[in-house]
Amino acid sequence: MWKFPPELEMLRETVRKMANEVIAPRAAEIDLAGEFPWDIKDLFQRQGIFSVAFPESFGGCEARHTATCLAVEEVARVCASSSLILQVQALGATPILIAGTEEQKTKYCIPLAAGEKLCAFALTEPGAGSDAAAMLTTAELRGDTYILNGLKHFISNATVADIFCIFAMTDRSKGTRGITAFIVEKDFPGFRIGRVEKKMGIRGSPTAEVVLIDCQVPRENLLGNEGEGFKIAMKTLDGSRAVIAAQAVGIAQAGLDFAIKYSKERVQFGSPIAQLQGIQFMLADMAAQVEAARALTYHAAALADEGSPHLSYIAAAAKLMASDTAMRVTTDAIQVAGGYGYMTEFPAERYMRDAKITQIYEGTNQIQRLVIARQLLK
């Protein structure tokens, strides 16, 4: 187990206790109902957990990326949907922290750090996932107002967020250099929520479309300068990929814990299956993979806190390694439990369903391999 400075160890123990005592008993119900757990959101707000993703000036801590990873891992270990409340808050706020003016940070980051408002990150479109340059959403400046038109797709927490960081084309001829970022409030004229998706996993985290029809965004809500949106988005994702890796590690740890417990209780051929060498080797491989993924994840988090130029490479590697590990370990956990692992009365199948998305969102693992290869070949 990794050791961190006392304040981060205290955070981890606090979140772990909260996760075990309050969130874990709700996890199966959250998944079954497929509804956003407002009670868990309120719990995070009361305990001041939202602030960990923000700098000290907003009530957070110096090592905010590591702190966010610790909190997300501990929550994901019992409920991936609940961990997304923290993960998406950090993701949505990061563009403001990166490129926002002091006025923008004061206006938006204070209520976000306090958990008084929720935010979301809106980059993906139906025809523009990995290929951001293919986005069709446009922004046109008319006087002191930008007019946004387009459709954003697969937006986490869209139905519950108050504030959105949205990316749109201001000059299509420039490709990715024509992408611009905006802070958009849900009450702006022309903004609405479209279709809500039904998903295989993370069912308690709402995913929906954001529809922009002549959406009016004040000029002062421009993030950075025109044409800097792609750079802001990529820098955001570099830091956030460590958090997705932490989420994957938490899910993988849950699968490992389940497999160990079940193997010691399940009796076949007159003794617990944990005494079978075939099962022991599976558990050993699962544990080694989890530990390796965790080490790489917190290495990436530390680089993010340092502002390291090597973050993009290591964050991509961490996200790739941790999410692939989560899928392998949760699949093996089901195998250890046999037929019972396939039943919904046991949590292993939920772990596997939740693990799959970590290989897809915030850049598919094929994109992570592309990022890694480009860095290697520079």
- If you write DSSP's letter for every residue of 91-144 in order, what string do you get? HHHHHHHHH--HHHIIIIIHHHHTTSS-EEEE--BTTBSS-GGG---EEEEETT
Rounded distance, CA 92 to CA 161, Å? 10
DSSP 49-74: GGGGGS-GGGT--TTHHHHHHHHHHH
**Catalytic entry in 73, 74, 349, 362:** 362
> Mean pLDDT, consecutive 10-residue segments, the chain of 378 residues?
85 97 98 97 97 92 94 98 98 97 97 97 93 94 98 97 98 95 98 97 98 98 97 96 98 98 96 97 98 98 95 97 98 97 96 98 95 94
pLDDT for position 167: 98
φ/ψ (deg, to 5) at 131: -95, 85
| 79 HSE (CA, 13 A, CB side) | 31
For the record, the structure tokens of 53 come out as: 């993703």
pLDDT for position 60: 86
Query: pTM value?
Result: 0.96
For the record, the structure tokens of 235 come out as: 């820098």
Rounded distance, CA 188 to CA 168, Å? 16
Q: Which domains does the chain have, with CATH numbers?
A: 6-113 (1.10.540.10), 119-227 (2.40.110.10), 230-377 (1.20.140.10)
pLDDT for position 2: 65
φ/ψ (deg, to 5) at 208: -150, 170
Q: How far is CA 48 from the centre of its chain?
A: 19
CB 308: neighbour CB atoms within 10 A?
15
pLDDT for position 61: 84
Rounded distance, CA 162 to CA 114, Å? 14
Q: Which residues of 139-165 are buried (b: 16+ CB within 10 A; e: fewer)?
A: beeeeebbbbbbbbbbbbbbebbbbbb
pLDDT for position 378: 86
Q: Is 29 among the residues known to form the active site?
A: no
Which alpha helices (DSSP H) does 147-268 contain, by range?
229-265
pLDDT for position 92: 98
78, 19 Cβ separation under 8 angstroms: yes
